[in-house]
């Protein structure tokens, strides 16, 4: 894992983000969510912890609607999954800001719908704070 993020002050206005990640990388998602909290960015519950018996697509859509920014952990596993495309389609349809964080993939491997978004590498996670708060 990259170094722990050190942020002296949280961002002024709390920002709610939806964290998209492949279920095989839940540990990575928990690490990223913890680092976001250090920066004053609340990612809420991770999406595969949705209430049992509910429709996961509806739950994801609701969580994206309740968020201002969607951060996508893009890994080889997420590129092979239909969920990344679904979640990015919902986010873009709701006009949410999308920030792809790349791990073991390159920007040219991104799905077309998010290939024009500014990306960062997992090692640059500390840049998320400025990207999320730039319009505040």
Domain CATH code at residue 60: 3.40.50.10140
CB atoms closer than 10 angstroms to residue 51 = 9
Burial of 107 (0-12, 13-18, 19+ CB in 10 A): middle
The pLDDT of residue 75: 93
Assigned token pair, 97: 């800001």
| Mean pLDDT, range 26-45, rounded to an integer | 84
Residue 46 counted as domain residue: yes
pLDDT tens-place string over residues 101-134? 999 999 889 888 888 888 889 899 888 888 887 6
The pLDDT of residue 6: 55
Cα separations in angstroms, 49 against 16, 46, 79, 90: 17, 6, 21, 19
Instruction: Give φ, ψ of 46 to 5 degrees.
Output: -70, 140
Structural domain harbouring 52: 15-133
pLDDT tens-place string over residues 37-60? 888 888 765 655 444 556 888 888
* Percent of the chain clearing pLDDT 70 (strictly above): 79
């Amino acid at each position: 894992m990259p170094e722990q993020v050190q942020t002296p002050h949280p961002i002024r206005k709390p920002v709610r983000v939806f964290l998209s990640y492949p279920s095989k990388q839940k540990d990575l998602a928990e690490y990223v969510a913890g680092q976001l909290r250090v920066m004053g960015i609340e990612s809420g519950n991770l999406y595969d912890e949705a209430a049992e018996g509910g429709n996961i697509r509806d739950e994801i859509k609701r969580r994206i609607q309740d968020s201002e920014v969607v951060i996508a952990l893009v890994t080889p596993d997420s590129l092979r999954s239909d969920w990344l495309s679904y979640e990015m389609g919902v986010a873009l349809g709701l006009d949410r800001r999308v920030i792809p964080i790349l791990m073991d993939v390159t920007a040219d491997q991104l799905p077309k719908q998010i290939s024009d978004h500014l990306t960062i590498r997992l090692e640059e996670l500390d840049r998320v704070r400025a990207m999320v708060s730039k319009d505040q």
